[in-house]
Amino acid sequence: MDHFDRIWVNVHLATMTPDATERGEIRDGALAVRDGRIAWIGRRADLPDMPVMEVHDGAGAWLLPGLIDCHTHAVFAGDRCGEFEERLEGVPYVDIARRGGGIRRTVEATRAADLEALVALARPRLARLLAEGVTTVEIKSGYGLETQAELRMLRAARALQRAADMSVVTSFLGAHAFPVDLPRADYVDLVCGPMLDAVAAEGLADAVDGFCEGIAFSPAETERVFQAARAKGLPVKLHADQLSDTGGAALAARFGALSCDHLEYTSEAGVRAMAEAGTVAVVLPGAFYMLREKQLPPIDLFRRHGVPMAVATDANPGSSPMLSPLLAMNMACILFGLTPYEALQGMTVYAARALGLEKDRGTLEVGKRADLTLWRISRPAELCYWLGFGDRLLVERVVAGRPSAATRRGLG
Ligand code: NIG
Ligand code: FE
């Protein structure tokens, strides 16, 4: 190595490496980037003497990995504000779903939208995530529930990857609900057969997701979807045990799931199965909050069994119309009892693991992709502290080693 492309000096670093002592904090540190990757990291005093093309003075700001929102439904049309009102008038979420509302309402609106409309609707949502430091976002299908509409959602997500200044990871969620226009068994056949074939043929999905619940896919139906995913060589993940304990977490763990998400009703046996499989627990406090749930996910069991926890927005028009990763971290702390450090790990290192990307991003380590965020804060916990001030804390966002013009505010 004979030069660095860029270095950041006059910064404190929070590396988020899982085995770090002192929470991975390096005061008065420096970080160097070359060819889009982190080339050196450490104390500024130890920075090797090397030609540098660009020096960034962080003026005492904190440098963290870019945030990763590992569970969103950011591509959709319409809204469900009417159902929000109904729920506040006392109608439960499951009752709304059973009489054809809920996910199916968003399916109607999403089927009616073309590719350009889906992209245009999602763009400002991603812009909000970006303004609060997100550099990688996962986006699911699941509001099409017919082949062409599912493909369109995933194509929209891929198009957003090209247009937005962030990485987009996709999940095929055909197994999100049942459409009104097909018998149940036929729809399971469609999802596991022609629909998944078409998705895989176009390389549109990085993983296969499902919703295993009384109002959605049964465990047996979910298992069929996972078998079909396995046959295509695609990793799986699951909306599991959100509203009741269906044994979803244990089922997904048997398939080596990358993550199980929601998990309010997961039993200790489910947690143990996740621990054995190395499955990440993605907690989604936005949905818990919006649905005014009472049952908390078993955070202490995750800790005791060594199940890593990720935190995500679950951005969607029904259960979690939330586009603030920092608010998600705050809620994970206040509602679920995570420490601020756990919440930060949940949006960096363990969110990367939930997407199968832990070798490539999620921490500040030499060789990893240089997705970085620079924050004007007194300590990392401050990112979990303010309500609605996140975009003012973000000084700079760096994607694959390149400072992003969209959020550059000028340092010092
Ligand atoms: O993650 N739980 C299932 N799916 C979404 C909600 C979808 C919706 O209500 O539109 C979730 O909460
Ligand atoms: Fe979800």
Tell me how far the alpha carbon of residue 209 lies from the centroid of ligand 2, in angstroms: 9
Distance of alpha carbon 400 from alpha carbon 135, whole angstroms: 9
Q: What is the CATH number of domain 4-65+362-408?
A: 2.30.40.10
Mean pLDDT over 233-251 rounds to 98
Q: Quick one: tokens of 246?
A: 């269906």
- pLDDT at residue 411 above 50? no
The residues that bridge with 369 in the sheet, in sequence order, are 37
Amino acid, single-letter form, for residue 378: S
Cα distances from 73 to residues 113, 142, 165, 262, in angstroms, run: 15, 8, 18, 14
* Pocket lining for ligand 1, CB < 6 angstroms: 102-103, 106, 211, 239, 242, 287, 314, 316-320
Query: What is residue 391's predicted lDDT score, i.e. its pLDDT?
Result: 86
- Which residue, judged by its Cα, is nearest atom 3 of ligand 1? 211
Ligand nearest to the CA of 318: 1
123-166 tens-digit pLDDT: 999 999 999 999 999 999 999 999 999 999 999 999 999 878 89
- The alpha carbon torsion through 222, 224, 229, 233 (nearest 10 deg) reads 130
pLDDT above 70 coverage of the chain, percent:
98
Pocket test for ligand 1, best of 69, 244, 313, 320 (most atoms within 8 A of CB): 320
CA distances from 331 to 140, 315, 344, 372 (A): 22, 14, 12, 23
Ligand 1 centroid, distance to 319 Cα (angstroms): 5
Structure tokens belonging to residue 133: 């430091």
Residues lying with their CB under 5 A of ligand 2, a single-atom ion: 314
Whether the Cβ atoms of residue 130 and residue 371 lie closer than 8 Å to each other: no
CB 240 within 8 A of CB 274: no
DSSP 381: G
* pLDDT surpassing 80 at residue 384: yes
Which tokens belong to 61? 């700001």
Q: Which of 91, 171, 211 has most ligand 1 atoms within 8 Å of its beta carbon, as the pocket-test mutant?
A: 211
Question: For residue 405, what pLDDT is reported?
Answer: 58
- By C-alpha distance, which of 129, 63, 67, 138 is closest to 356? 138
* Cα-to-centroid distance, 211 and ligand 2 (Å): 8
Ligand 1 centre from 103 Cα, in Å? 7
Give the Cα separation of 170 and 296 in Å (integer): 28
Confidence of residue 15 (pLDDT cuts 50, 70, 90): very high
- How far apart CA 341 and CA 21 sit, in angstroms, is 12
pLDDT at 408 over 60: no
Does the pLDDT of residue 406 top 50, yes or no?
Answer: no
CATH number 3.30.420.40 given to 67-354: no
Measured CA to CA, the distance from residue 185 to residue 68 in angstroms comes to: 36
**What amino acid occupies position 183?**
P
| Residue range 386-403: mean pLDDT, rounded | 94
Residue nearest to atom 8 of ligand 1 (CA): 318
264-288: pLDDT as tens digits: 999 999 999 999 999 999 999 999 9
> Which ligand 1 atom is the nearest neighbour of the CA of 103?
10
Sequence spans of domains, the chain: 4-65+362-408, 67-354
Q: Identify the pLDDT of residue 410.
A: 43
pLDDT digits (tens, 9 = 90+) for 182-227: 999 999 999 999 999 999 999 999 999 999 999 999 999 999 999 9
* Closest-lying ligand 1 atom to the alpha carbon of residue 106: 10
Closest ligand 1 atom to the C-alpha of 216? 3
**Beta-carbon neighbour count of residue 89 at 10 Å?**
7
pLDDT at 247 over 50: yes
What is the pLDDT of the chain when averaged over all its residues? 96
pLDDT given for residue 271 in this prediction: 98
pLDDT digits (tens, 9 = 90+) for 26-79: 999 999 999 999 999 999 999 999 999 999 999 999 999 999 999 999 999 999
Q: What pTM, to 2 d.p., does this model score?
A: 0.97
Q: What is the pLDDT of residue 292?
A: 97
**Three-state DSSP class for residue 113:** coil
Asked whether the beta carbons of 350 and 344 are under 8 A apart, the reply is: no
